[in-house]
Amino acid sequence: MRPSLSRPGAPRQAEIAPPDWLRARLLHLGPEVMVLDKPAGLPVSARRGESLEALLPALRMGKRRDPQPAHRLDADTSGCLVLGRTAPMLARLNALFAERRVGKVYWAVVRGAPAAEAGVTEARLRKTSTAAGGWRMEAHAAGDPARTAWRVLGRGAGFAWLELRPETGRTHQLRVHCATLGFPILGDAMYGGGQAGGLHLLARAIALPLEEDLCVEAPVPDHMRAAVAACGG
């Protein structure tokens, strides 16, 4: 359940200081917008266990209400996550994402070497599930439209370092598109990238068209550094 705004005259709850590790992951802190470097392995929301949602009260940073994510990242994806710190800004951010006006850049290390240096895939995506394997996304002609532009940033030792620019925001879009093209993301057990080392997918940068354009970049996480370096990064 989302936290509600305080009633007029209601006592203000005591503020919880964010732990040092969380404060260190703040990439941007403005009056209305916060951008967090979400760590890999931390879900945005969860019914049980640790999640970003449970940490939101510690991110009030002087506000009366918890900040709220304006979009989602997969639990195993690290990098830029935008949160609205006021109700009007959250609504505005939600609209920007829905209207596809937010610039999003991802970095991935993939297994295999694309023959071309750049390209675009428009494989349509749909959700499928089985009793044995649970749910996943798949490329299918009856799926929802999805479009991703990609280019090679570096190559090395049977891997490639890619820049990915999703023009739509389908669930697992980048993971499925890379797998469908024949170069699954390293560490993506669900879509053929193997299990070792964690998912090598980073929400590298985000650009928000506000009164003053806001552009934020996230650093390469520890688990991706060796593979990016092996590809010349």
Residue 220 domain-assigned (yes or no): yes
Residue 151 domain-assigned (yes or no): yes
Residue 9 domain-assigned (yes or no): no
**Cα separation, 76 vs 27, whole angstroms:** 19
Q: How confident is the model at residue 13, as a pLDDT?
A: 57
Contacts (Cβ under 8 Å, ≥6 apart) of 117: 151, 152
Residue 14 domain-assigned (yes or no): no
Domain count across the chain: 1
- For the CA atoms of 208, 65, 169, 209, the dihedral, rounded to the nearest 10 degrees, stands at -10
Task: List the CATH number of the domain containing 37.
Answer: 3.30.2350.10
**Cα separation, 221 vs 80, whole angstroms:** 12
Q: What is the residue range of 167's domain? A: 20-230
Q: What is the pLDDT along the chain (233 residues), one digit of tens a residue?
A: 333 434 444 445 567 788 899 999 999 999 999 999 999 999 998 766 789 999 999 999 999 999 999 999 999 999 999 999 999 999 999 999 999 999 999 999 999 989 999 999 999 999 998 877 788 889 999 999 999 999 999 999 899 999 999 999 999 999 999 999 999 999 999 998 877 789 999 999 999 999 889 999 999 999 999 999 999 99
What does pTM read for this prediction?
Answer: 0.90
**Cβ-contact 44, 69 below 8 angstroms:** yes
**Cα separation, 220 vs 217, whole angstroms:** 10
Residue 97 domain-assigned (yes or no): yes
**Is 4 in a helix, a strand, or coil?**
coil
Residue 141 domain-assigned (yes or no): yes
Other Cβ atoms within 10 Å of 34 Cβ, number: 23
Residues belonging to the active site: 74
